[in-house]
Amino acid sequence: MSHSKISNALSKRLQSLPASPPVAWENAGFKPVDGVTFLAETYLPAETSGVGVAATDSLDYTGIYQIDVRAALDDYKKEANDTADAVASHFRRGTILTYNGQKVTIQSVSRAQGRADGAWWFIPVSVNWRAFSGNV
């Protein structure tokens, strides 16, 4: 079990979003094009806790996979809202992702209010996930 596998499972899911705008992947070069909507991923692991009391018991990993929708500022809100809705639907609650044997379950998806951020209209979509190591 590793955060690398969890992060890759989530990124692969985002990569499969139909008609996706360009994506700014974490720690990869990306230069946004003025006026072109894009997505930006952020992997935010939270506390890891033990499922049992023995040192060999499974671990419970949780966190948020945040996908920021960035659309041109002052270009109305329809494209940004439609894109945020498409991202949220693609990460539907209960979806189980697998990467190199690691299963990741989507627990919930929410989006925050849009707001201006420099030259962009920004809508964060938060995907709450959970994964276990070992046998549960």
Range of the domain at 21: 3-132
The number of folded domains in the chain is: 1
The pLDDT of residue 135:
47
The pLDDT of residue 110:
97
The pLDDT of residue 136:
44
The pLDDT of residue 100:
93
Long-range Cβ contacts of 53-58 (<8 Å, 24+ apart): 56/134, 57/134, 58/132, 58/133, 58/134, 58/135, 58/136
Pairing of strands 102-111, 96-99: antiparallel
The pLDDT of residue 2:
81
SS (H, E, C) 6-71: HHHHHHHHHHCCCCCCCEECCCCCCCCCCCCCEEEEEEEEEEEEECCCCCCCCEEEEEEEEEEEEE
Sign of CA dihedral 101, 134, 95, 122: negative
The pLDDT of residue 134:
63
The pTM is what?
A: 0.90
**Token reading at 90:** 């693609």
Indicate which CATH number applies to the domain containing 55. Answer: 3.30.2000.20
The pLDDT of residue 94:
96
List per-residue pLDDT tens for the chain, 136 residues long: 589 999 999 999 999 999 999 999 999 999 999 999 999 999 999 987 766 666 666 778 899 999 999 999 887 788 999 999 999 999 999 999 999 999 999 999 999 999 999 889 999 999 999 998 864 4
